[in-house]
Every structure is written in structure tokens, then in C-alpha cells.
Amino acid sequence: MLDSILGFVRKHQRKLVITAGIAGGLYYSGKMLLGRLADMQEASAKERAAKDNIRRRFDMNQRDCLITIMSLLPELSEQLLHEVDVERLITELRAIHTAPKITAPAAVAGADQSETHDGGNTWSGSDALGAGKEDGEQPSKPAAYEPTPAEEPQRRSKVEIWEDIKIQSFARTLIAVYSESLLTMLVHVQLSIIGRSTYLDSVVSKYTGDDVALEGRLVSRLSSSDEQHFLMLSWWLLNRGWRHLMALISDATHHCVGKLSLKERISHRELGALFASIHTRLRENGLAQTLPVILLPLGDTNVGDYLAANHLVAERVFTPVFTRLLDQLRDVIESPDFGFVFSSCIDRLTAQLLEALQESFPEPLPAPAPRAPLPPTIDGEAAPDLDDVVKEFEHFSVPQESRVVVVQLLPRIAREGHQILNGVPNQYLENVSASREVQALSAAVYTAEDSSA
């Protein structure tokens, strides 16, 4: 039997060798493939862990942004409410209302008191302005009344004060919209740059020393002092830049709102068009080109002002790491993406503002339904009544827009400026911080390559 086996082997030696070679090759190939698959799975697991780590850090970074902005808004709000003090104008107007009249008969004095008394409502302006009367029509006076020289300047002063209230109510609310948008974007970009630098430092922390070589470049580790000085740059917007923004917005508001009569009745749609015209005016005046100056202390004079106001020394602030971070921040601010996101934030907050102001416009009454279908016109029959035809047309036409006197909108517009900066919870801030555009800009900055290192 052994001879037969040996004979079989000798007879099929070539085939057996080939078969054994193929089997061995398949075994080692399979082992190598399994090894490669294990390596790929391990690499994929590491990549997923790295992405989860970045996502977790990024989400934490976004929460830090919201907390930081909320801590900075009171400083901005205090200055804005002090500089654009609508309440002071109201107090001044109230003082004029309660001031005693000069030289008038008793009957006239009683009429004046009934005219100027507003029941304690600070914002009541219908009597002072004649809001319910047509333009040019003056309130009636008794026949024995003769105006005194002291009353004419007083009447003009009331109108002037109301004009200031109108301009400042619009301007203050828009300054709040623009400054909160810019502060939100600035803090998100700053913390994204810091978060990216911190993450890179954690990745290369296994290397010794304060500096590490990364792809042939020397990268300095981010120190706590560099991080603090970099985050302090928001001081410029909160104390200097917003004033430049205020000047631009006040000019645009004067141009677009100044010609609006206090007694004019406008619809919600027209109010939205009015805000849109102010935005357009700001774009035409080059607001986008001035954003770097509003957000950062650029130029020797501004840098000197920034350092002196914060008691800083240039040599200690402008380290290589701080300069690198500042260059990255400026590159982002001057990029087209920043301008696009800024415009989207303004549109988003303006839409939210107009939605809040919608409550000031009562719902228009629907047109009454026709009593019965109109009869067809046939030879020999009487034509339908013209009044019925008009009512039928009105029923299917677009309902008339609700309109409100401008002076009645001013208190709500001014209060929304408070809500934008001081609301608790601040729905405006939550809205703009959670926008897809701001989140996308933050993610792009957080994951961008450090080309300036």
C-alpha cells in the first residue's frame, strides 16, 4: 500500500506541488488580508474617536461662546442705553406736559389741562401731536384764547422731542441688532481659534518642550497669557467699535426715518420695508468695509488707545503666538464668508424683531360674505344690483392691511432694543447663536488648517 501511495505521489508530483503552493499562498494571503483588515478597523476606530473628540470639543466650545456673550452683553447694554437714552427724552416730554401754563383764562387753562393730561402713560403722544387729526389741522381753542409768546417755543419743543424719540427708538434697536450680531460672530470666531489651537496642543503634547516641530514648522504652545490677551480683543467692540457703528446707523436712520411723519399710519409690511431701507443705506455707505475697524484696534493710534485703556504693555501682548492668532482673526473678519454670515444674522434678527412688532398691529376685520349668489344676466331679466357686485368683489379681494400710527409703535420698538440686549432668557441671542450660518463659520474656523503658523 505504501508503494502505491509513493507511486501516486511520484506520478502526480507536479500537481501536488502546484496545489500545495496555491494552498500556502492562499493561507498567507488570507492571513495578510486579515491583518490589513484589522489595521483598517483600528485606523477607522481611531479616526472615529478623533472625530468624536473634535465634535465633543466643538459642542463644548459653542456652549462656552453663549456663556461668554451673555457675560459681555451687560457692558454693551449699559453704554448703549446711556448714549441713546430714549427714556430721558420721555422724562423731558413729561416735564413739559406737567409744566403750568402761562397767561390764559380759567376756561382755557382747564382745556389745556385736559389736553396735556395723559393718565400717567409716559408714551402717550396723541394729544401733543394731534395723532388723530389730519396734517395741518390744529386743536380747537376757545374764542377768547390768545396764544402767548411762551407757548410757541413750548409747542415746537414737544414736536422736536418726539422727533428725537422717533429717530432714537429706531436707531437704538438697530444698534442693538447689529452690535449683538457682531459680538456673537466675534466671540464664536475667537473661541474657535482658541479651541483649535488647544486641540492641536493636546495632540502634540506627547512631545517634550514648549515648542514642537510640526511638518517642518515651529509651532509655539498657547500660553494662558496669550489666550487672555487674545480674548480681551472683544473690549474694542464693546467700548470703541460700537460707537463707530452707532454713528453709521444713526446717519442711516436719519436718512430713512427722518422724513416719516409721526402721525402717518403704516402697515406691518411697510414697517419691514422701512427697516430694509435702513439696511440698504448701511450697505451703500460701506458698512462691510468698516467691520475690521469696528471689531479690532487697527492702526498705531487705535492700538495705543487699546493698550492704554487696558493698562497693557505692547511687548508683553504682541508675542509671536498672539500675533499669529490676531492675523488669523483678521483674515476671517476680512473674508467674504464673514460678510455673508453677518448679513444673514442681521436678516435673522430683523425678522424676529418684526415678528415681535406684529403684536402692535391689530388683525383687520374680514370683509362680510355676500348674502346670496348673484343672479345671471339674461335677456329680459334685470341686471344685478351694483352694491351686491361690489360686495362680492370685496369678499374675494385681498383684505385691507392693518395700519398703526407711527407714534404708537415707538414704545414697542424702543422696548425691543432692551429685549435684544437684556432679555432673560435672551431669545434674540439664542436665535442668532444657533443659526446654521454662525455654526458653519465656527466649524470652518475650528477645523481649518493653520496656514499662518
Report the Cα 329 to chain-centroid distance in Å: 19
**Given this model, what pLDDT does residue 54 score?**
77
**Given this model, what pLDDT does residue 21 score?**
80
What residue type is 2 in one-letter code?
L
CA–CA separation, 20 vs 28, rounded Å?
12
| 391 — pLDDT class (breaks 50, 70, 90) | low
Of residues 170 and 90, the one with the higher pLDDT is 170
- Asked whether the predicted pLDDT for residue 368 surpasses 70, the reply is no
What average pLDDT does the segment 242-248 reach? 96
- Nearest Cα neighbor of 175 from 71, 283, 77 is 77
For 441, counting Cβ atoms within 10 Å of its Cβ (0-12 exposed, 13-18 middle, 19+ buried), the class is: buried
Say which residue the cell 357686485 belongs to: 389
| 123 — pLDDT class (breaks 50, 70, 90) | low
For 92, counting Cβ atoms within 10 Å of its Cβ (0-12 exposed, 13-18 middle, 19+ buried), the class is: middle
CA–CA separation, 382 vs 374, rounded Å?
12
**Helix 242-257 vs helix 13-83: crossing angle, to nearest 10:** 70
Q: Among positive and negative, which fits the CA dihedral 356, 359, 360, 362? A: positive
- Asked whether the predicted pLDDT for residue 71 surpasses 90, the reply is yes
**Which of 51-60, 261-270, 436-445 bottoms out in mean pLDDT, i.e. has the lowest?**
51-60
**Which of 15-29, 56-70, 139-153, 348-362 bottoms out in mean pLDDT, i.e. has the lowest?**
139-153
Residues 331-344: tens digit of each pLDDT:
999 999 999 999 99
**Given this model, what pLDDT does residue 98 score?**
73
| 57 — pLDDT class (breaks 50, 70, 90) | confident
Cis peptide preceding 362, ω within 30 of 0: no
User: What is the average pLDDT score of the chain?
Assistant: 80
